[in-house]
Chain A
Amino acid sequence: MKTLKMFVGLKIPDTTAITALNTLKRMGYSSVGKLERFQYYEFTCANPELLTDRLAKIDILVNANKNYAIVGTESHEEGFTYLLVKNKGETHEGLLSTLQNRLGLKEIQSVAVGTLWKMHIVDPDPKKVAEEVAKELLASPHYQEVVVL
Chain B
Amino acid sequence: MRFFLILILPIFLFAHKVNLFLDLKDDNLYINSYFANAKPCMNCKFKIESNEKIVFEDILDEKGEYNYKTSLNDLKVIVDAGSGHTVSKKIKLQEQKNEEKIVQTEKIDKDIERLLEENRVLKNQINVLEEQLNYFEIFKIIFGLVLIGLIFIIIKRVKS
Answer yes or no: do A and B interact: no
